[in-house]
Amino acid sequence: MKLPDETQTCQNWNVLSLANLAGTGNQKKGNELRKRTFSISRAKDMPGGSPRRRSAYDPAMLSSSSSFARQLLRWYDRSRRDLPWRIDPAVGGEPNPYHVLVSETMLQQTQVATVIPYFQRFLARFPTVADLAAADEQEVLRHWQGLGYYSRARNLRAAARMIVHEFGGHMPTEPEELLQLPGVGRYTAGAVASIAFGRRAPILDGNVQRVLCRLDAIASDPRDRQTQQRLWQRAEEILPRRRVGDFNSALMELGALVCTPRNPQCLLCPVRDHCEAFASGLQEKIPAPKAAKPTPLVRRQTYCVRRADGQWLLEQRPSTGRWAGMWQFVTIAAEDPLDASAARAPAQSAAPLPIRVRRIHPMGIVTHSLTHRRYEFQVFRCEAAATGILADNCPRRWTTLERLDDFPLPKPHLRIAQMLRDQPE
């Protein structure tokens, strides 16, 4: 949504507000409002040629935090999203600590809209921390399949086992205890402690970082260690005495819905009077964007090997590294760049396959992007030319396409499986 002209908006707002106050005869409030009226200076006052606004912003406003917290919580009570891990205010009650832990783990590096159906399916299968602790890792990975960052699923299961075996089945209530759980860092510990148990623990995720940087006009990189320390300190300073969990949730909600990375909706922000970046016209420039880095391209060749009885050969990935412990079609490294003009089946693979094959036919290319790298899979369909499989330390299984759901597959191989279904012989 394109915001109106900033100068005209500020002028109109002040003129209308002063007129309304004059109409009621409230001279004192009118004078106070005049003092807070923004003055528009020349474009040279701000880097990049944008007009700089001056206001009565006071950095001490956030130090007391009382008015800031009241305004933020009032907005949160009206505008909060209805999410399955939150308590409905109309119903009341306390948050389920296990639900908070699962949701916060899933929300790491993942958007809310993506998480919701996974959260619901995961809780339907593992409704309690004891159920998750008793589950087989492969089953947990299957229910995480497609959500990515699979170490989160393994750590969540390991945390459930520690809660059951070392904490008597009860979620730790203090941040220091929560930090002992596998995969739980300072942010997750603070979120669970504050949201589930009301502890005065700060949080600092990407949304909160952005909000705090703009509130205090912190122009340095929020990923810098010193800036991180400053933001953690600030997040703790502004915590209210009551409703800490709602306050932390409100900060995240504000960053997700209003104080967005691009085109922040400042005119809708309930705490813009506390924001130094908005007062200075710097909200679009703070925080500084992360410098783009080239992402390396990793090429692979995947062979979908079919046996005479219609079953396909799967292999399990190593227990460490990317997609650890998951299953895939036979995949090897592709040392040479792929021929862009025509995808031809190689006469001989760059590395030995675990079984002799024949009738190799190209099916297409599957691409997959991660945060720090890109993958390109050149996919081939082929027939097994022998019954014996290479004896090594890699577990392998024959299965039908109908039974693939029994195996947790990385997203690229889920797409390859769909290619097999869509391209029958």
DSSP secondary structure, 231-297, as one string: HHHHHHHT--SS-HHHHHHHHHHHHHHTS-SSS--GGG-TTGGG-HHHHHT-TTT-SPPPPP-PPPE
Which candidate, 108, 58, 48, 61, places its Cα nearest to that of 286? Answer: 48
One-letter amino acid of 167? F
| Helix (H) or strand (E) run with residue 60 in it | helix 60-64
Q: Which two tokens stand for residue 68?
A: 């800031």
168 vs 165: CA distance, rounded Å: 6
Q: How many helices (H) and strands (E) in the chain?
A: 16, 8
Q: Which two tokens stand for residue 319?
A: 């227990």
Q: Which two tokens stand for residue 235?
A: 């997040």
Asked about 104 being catalytic, the answer comes back as yes
Asked if residues 301 and 377 have their Cβ atoms less than 8 Å apart, the reply is yes
Which of 104, 166, 236, 402 does the annotation list as catalytic? 104
Q: Which two tokens stand for residue 424?
A: 């029958």
51 vs 282: CA distance, rounded Å: 10
Which candidate, 382, 385, 420, places its Cα nearest to that of 400? Answer: 420
175 vs 72: CA distance, rounded Å: 24
Please give the span between the terminal C-alpha atoms of the chain, in angstroms, as a whole number: 49
**Active-site residue list:** 104
